[in-house]
Structure 1
Amino acid sequence: MKNDSVKEYSSEYQKEVVDLILEIQQKEYNISITKEDQPDLFQIEEFYQSGNGNFWVAVLDDKVVGTISLLDIGNKHVALRKMFVKKEYRGKTFQIASLLLNTAINWANDKSITKVYLGTTLQFVAAHRFYEKSGFISIDVSELPENFPILRVDKKFYKYELRA
């Protein structure tokens, strides 16, 4: 898997992005969330790709196999959102998650972002390990900036400090 497999989102990927995310949320983790609960998925350019935010897709053999986004929440802070990797592409073999995260972190560094926050569900235990290995620190909900958008399913929170 090469870095050029990670691309900035464009609307040609919309259906694949929605399908990938819903499949993981609903089928793999039995989270009762619908596409209607996630209107951001239908306005990715406006919602994520503005200010200090962006959205990327990992593409392998012309198929979207992963997503990640940074949502600008002001104050040189971003929220990491929509990090999903198709089940068969997780792990060390393809390293999709690492490529996606490194792309987002490097981009945030270039934009002089100081902190990345994220919220996740309790079910995503492997993701918790991945974030912790990648330098994210588990924090209490009270430590989030007040403009962090907490989702209904978010029960565990992390922060990552970028070098100044």
Structure 2
Amino acid sequence: MLEIKTINNIYSESVIDLILNIQQKEFNVPITIEDQPDLKQIEEFYFASGGSFWGTFINGELVGTIALVKFDENAAAIRKMFVKKEFRGKEHNIAQKLLEILIAYCNENGIEEVYLGTVSILKAALRFYERNHFKIIDKELLPVKFPLMSADNVFCFLHLKS
């Protein structure tokens, strides 16, 4: 059974296990938990500013995440979009469901501009964002308040009102 729900600090350890495994072991991204203190402070980092954090569970196991950091009145950044390898693809369609929930949240909360940063080795992720109408933009075009992650080297933008 697949369930998607907002998650908070109670789930920090599960979130950290899921994300670090994908980042470090699967894609060899040189990033640690110290580089991502937000994962230990989900409520303070995501919810306090008007964003959110969602998790996908299958039979009680956390298999996917997506988060939204609101950094301006009508702008936010997608963070922590990860799906466990064996649950990726069209069969479960988890990434698509997570993105649709995030976009619905944006529409309900007056967020019109959605940005994200990722790393160029995540080719399937980039294709996924492009299929969902995100445009790749130069780093220089990011808003001043955009919360940069040191590992990110590709940036995307989606205007929800167009």
TM-score by length of 2: 0.96
Pairing partner for 1:40 from 24, 38, 41:
38
Mapping of 1:12-91 within 5 angstroms?
Answer: 12-91=10-89
Mapping of 1:131-146 within 5 angstroms?
Answer: 131-146=129-144
Cα shift at 1:32: 1.4
- Unpaired segments ≥5 residues, structure 1: none
For 1:71, the aligned partner's letter is V
State the SS of the aligned residue for 1:51.
coil
In structure 2, C-alpha distance between the alignment counterparts of 1:140 and 1:130, rounded to whole Å: 19
In structure 1, C-alpha distance between the alignment counterparts of 2:136 and 2:4, rounded to whole Å: 27
State the SS of the aligned residue for 1:48.
helix
Matched, 1:150 2:148: yes
Query: Residue deviations 1:23-73, cap 9 Å, x none?
Result: 000000011111111111000000011232110001111000000001011
Cα shift at 1:7: 0.3
Pairing partner for 1:113 from 108, 111, 114:
111
Cα RMSD over matched residues? 1.2
In structure 2, C-alpha distance between the alignment counterparts of 1:43 and 1:53, rounded to whole Å: 13
For 2:112, the aligned partner's letter is T
For 1:121, the aligned partner's letter is V
State the SS of the aligned residue for 1:73.
strand
Cα shift at 1:148: 0.5
Query: Residue deviations 1:61-119, cap 9 Å, x none?
Result: 10000000010111310010010000001100000000100000000100010100000
Corresponding residue for residue 95 of structure 1: 93
State the SS of the aligned residue for 1:23.
helix
Cα shift at 1:144: 0.6
For 2:34, the aligned partner's letter is E
For 2:55, the aligned partner's letter is V
For 1:42, the aligned partner's letter is K
What is the percent sequence identity of the aligned residues? Answer: 47
Contact 1:71 1:79 in 2 (8 A): yes
Q: How many residues align?
A: 162
State the SS of the aligned residue for 2:47.
coil
For 2:72, the aligned partner's letter is G
Contact 1:138 1:157 in 2 (8 A): yes
Structure 1 stretches of at least 4 aligned residues deviating more than 3 Å after TM superposition = none
In structure 1, C-alpha distance between the alignment counterparts of 2:12 and 2:32, rounded to whole Å: 15
